[in-house]
Structure 1
C-alpha cells in the first residue's frame, strides 16, 4: 500500500445517513427496497456541484503502458498501441496492487501515478466488483458473494474514493463507468423470463446491485474531478420495448435511491465490451422489403434498433425525460465493433426477401446479436475520439481493452480447475449452435494475442 493511502482518511459527509426506497410502480425492484423514504431528487445538500460539459473534450487521455506493450508485441499492433483504453478494477486487491486472476500487473494506484507522469488530463476506469457479480455467467470470478453489499461499500468503493481523493491526483479528471452489465441482468435474467438464472434472482432479491451502484454513485459524486457513467448495455439485449422501458426505469431508480441523485450521473455507456455496430450504414430499422418490415427479419427479430448509436440516443432521451439532466452524455465502446475486412458489405442487395436484404446489408457479421465471447471476424472500430459528431455523444472510447479475452473455452484445463467456462466461449453452445468464439481462449481479462491479431486485420476504419 502506498504512503499516500496510509495518510488518507475516509471521506464521509458529516451526519450523512443512507436512505432506501424506490417508486412502488417499479415492479422489478425487490420488496426490501420498497420501504423507507422515497427517492430523492435534486442536488446534494452538501458536496460539490454537478460536473458540467464533456470530460473528453480537448483532454489528453491516459494510455495504459501495460496494454500498449502487449498491443505493440503483435505484428501491426504498434499502429494502435498509443490509443487510450479503460482500466478495469475488479477486486479490492486491484486498487493498490495487481489483479492476479486477470493477469494484469498494475493496480489502480499505479495507473494513477502513470497518468500523472504522462501529464494526462483524463483517465477512464471501470468499477466491476459487485457482490454476486455477472450473475448470468458461469465464470463470473467475483470476490464477493450474495448479500455482501456492506463489504462492497467498505472494502471496494470506499478505498477507491480514498485513492481518487488523494491531492496528488487533484489535476486528473476521472471517467468512471459503474458496474457494467449489472442492471441489465436484473431485467433480462430474473423472474419468469426465459433466460432467468438463480444468481440474478438472488441479486434482485437482496438488492445488492441497486444498493451497491447507488452507493458507488453517491460516493463518486462527492469528488469534483470524477464523472460517473452508468452502464446502459447494448441494443441487441435491451432494444425491445419490454426490456427498454423497464431498463430505463431501473437506471433512474439506481440514481435516485439511498441518498443518490441524478446529478451524480454524468452519462451512460453503451456496448461496453460488446461487438454491436456503432452504425449500420446500409439498412435502417424503418426499411421495408416487398412490404415486409426489416423488424420481421431473423437478425432484427422485432428489435426497435439496428445499431448502438440509435439505441444509445433513444435511451439517452428516455432518461432525460425521466429527470436526468439535459446534457446527459453518451459514450459508445468502439473497441471491437468495426467489422471490416474482406467480408464487409459495400451496400444492400437489390433482390431477395427481407432476410436476404438484412443479411446482405449488415456490417455486424455475427449470427446473433447476443454472441459476446471472443468473436471471430470482429475488428477494431472507430478510434477513440471526443465529440465525434452524432448528437449527444461525448466520445467513442475503447472501454474494453482490445485483445483481452472475454472468457475461456476451457482448452487444456482439467475438470477440477476451479473456474467454470461459459459455453458461449466454446466453439458451440449447449444446444450445439456455433458461437463464432475463437478457440484456445484464456480466462476473462487475460491477453489473447490471436484475438487481437484478428481485430487488427478486420479493423474499420482500416489501419494505415
Structure 2
C-alpha cells in the first residue's frame, strides 16, 4: 500500500510539472509532511503555493480510508455545545496544514442521488482555530501555529444553539455561497436539550421550537447547506430522560426534518447517537422513523464522540439496513486515536487526536460524508479542567492537532 501511494504521489508531481505548474506543494490530509504532491486516496490533497503563501488546494478524489484508530464504548459523546451523547470516527488526519484560510474541496460520490454532485465544504476564515494560529504566529510560536492550521484549514460545522438563529445562518450560508461552497450547520435547540446536563437548555416550549426551526430554515434560503438535526435528541430519549415526552419530541424532530427539507438545496441528517450508546441498533429504528428519518437525506452518527470510523461505519450499515437503506454521515473530528478508556470518556478525554478530514468521498455507497461536526478544540464541558461547554480551549485543540497521525 505504501509503495503504491508513493508511486501515485510521484506520478501526480510529474503531472504538475508537465502542466507547467510553477508551485511548491505541501501534502495535507495524509502522508509525510513536506511531500511534493497529492496521492489519490480519500482525505489527501496538496497545497500549491509560491513561497509560503498557499494559492490553491487540490483534493484527492477517491480511495479508501488510510489512518485507522481505536476507541472504547458505552458512553454518549459531548456536543460542540458540550454534554454527553454522540460519537466520532477512526481515521486520523495527517499533514501540516498550511496558510490556507478559505476552503477544502470534497467531491461527493457516495452513490446517492445527490452524492453524484461535487461538494465544496466551506471553511470559516475567522474560526477560533484560525485566530489562534494567527496569534501564535505573531508571537513566534510558528510550530504551534502550523499544528493549529490542521484544524483552521478544514471545514467545521456551525452550531446554532440559542434564540434567533436566522442572522447567523444567513451570514454563514451567504459567505459559503459566495465561494460556491456548502455550509455545515447543526440545529441544537430542542426543548430539554441534553436532559439538563452540560449542554442543557433549548427552547422553552414546543411552539417556540417550531418557530425557531422556521427562522433557521428561512436563514438558509436557497443556498447550499448540510443540516445535522439535534444531536442526542433521539438516542437520549430512547435511553430515558424523565423530562421528555417521547411522542412530543419525535413530533418536533419530524417537524424540523420536514421544514429543513423544504429548502431546495439543503441536505438533512437526523442524529442517531453513536455506536456504543445503543449497541442494539434496533432500539433506534421506530424512534427514528417517528422522527421523520425517511424524509431526511439520512442520519448522523458519532457527533462529538470518539468511536472509530470502522466501528461507526459498521454500526451505520446495520442501522441503515433496518431502515431500508438510509444513508448516513459520520463525525470524524476527534477520533484519530479512538476512544479513551476511563471515566467520562466522552468529556474532554486526554490523548485524543483529529480524525479523517472532512470529505464527501468515502468509498462507501451508504456513507455520504465524513464531517467535522464537533469543532475540534471546543470544550465538552467543565470536566478535566475544561471551560464551559462549547468554549474554545487552545491547549486541548493543540493536543488534538499534535496527536494527529503523520
TM-score, structure 2 as length reference: 0.66
Match of 1:220 among 235, 260, 269: 260
Change (3 A) 1:89 1:108: same
The 2-side partners of 1:387 and 1:90 are apart by 29
Equivalences for residues 21-170 of structure 1 within 5 A: 53-55=113-115, 57-67=117-127, 68-70=129-131, 72-73=133-134, 75=144, 76-96=147-167, 107-120=168-181, 122-135=182-195, 137-145=196-204, 148-154=205-211, 156-165=212-221, 170=222
Checking the alignment, whether the CA contact within 8 Å between 1:338 and 1:382 is kept in structure 2 is yes
**1:55 shift after superposition:** 4.7
Q: Deviations over 1:43-91 (max 9, x none)?
A: xxxxxxxxx6245852111112232524534611123422111111112
The 2-side partners of 1:79 and 1:220 are apart by 31
Q: Does 1 or 2 have the higher relative contact order (CA < 8 Å, sep 6+)? A: 2
In the alignment, structure 1 residue 184 sits paired with structure 2 residue 235: yes
Checking the alignment, whether the CA contact within 8 Å between 2:177 and 2:224 is kept in structure 1 is no
The 1-side partners of 2:116 and 2:122 are apart by 11
SS in 2 for 1:203: coil
The 1-side partners of 2:131 and 2:306 are apart by 21
Checking the alignment, whether the CA contact within 8 Å between 1:332 and 1:397 is kept in structure 2 is yes
In the alignment, structure 1 residue 330 sits paired with structure 2 residue 328: yes
Q: Deviations over 1:80-123 (max 9, x none)?
A: 42211111111223432xxxxxxxxxx22221222123331x11
Match of 2:287 in 1: 250
SS in 2 for 1:88: strand
In the alignment, structure 1 residue 367 sits paired with structure 2 residue 371: no
The 1-side partners of 2:328 and 2:202 are apart by 30
Change (3 A) 1:245 1:84: same
Checking the alignment, whether the CA contact within 8 Å between 1:134 and 1:182 is kept in structure 2 is yes
The 1-side partners of 2:371 and 2:117 are apart by 12
Checking the alignment, whether the CA contact within 8 Å between 2:379 and 2:386 is kept in structure 1 is yes
The 2-side partners of 1:214 and 1:333 are apart by 22
Larger Rg: 1
SS in 1 for 2:186: strand
In the alignment, structure 1 residue 204 sits paired with structure 2 residue 245: yes
The 1-side partners of 2:365 and 2:296 are apart by 19
Structure 1, gaps ≥5 residues long: 1-51, 97-106, 191-199, 256-260, 280-306, 321-325, 340-362, 409-424, 426-438
In the alignment, structure 1 residue 271 sits paired with structure 2 residue 327: no
SS in 2 for 1:59: strand
Match of 1:455 among 395, 400, 405: 400
The 2-side partners of 1:113 and 1:56 are apart by 23
Judging by fraction of residues, say which structure has more strand.
2
Structure 2, gaps ≥5 residues long: 1-111, 137-143
Checking the alignment, whether the CA contact within 8 Å between 1:379 and 1:459 is kept in structure 2 is yes
Checking the alignment, whether the CA contact within 8 Å between 1:181 and 1:233 is kept in structure 2 is yes
Match of 1:401 among 375, 381, 401: 375
**1:366 shift after superposition:** 2.5
**1:220 shift after superposition:** 1.4
User: Runs of 4+ in structure 1 displaced over 3 angstroms?
Assistant: 54-57
TM-score, structure 1 as length reference: 0.58
Match of 1:317 in 2: 321
Checking the alignment, whether the CA contact within 8 Å between 2:165 and 2:216 is kept in structure 1 is no
Match of 2:270 in 1: 230
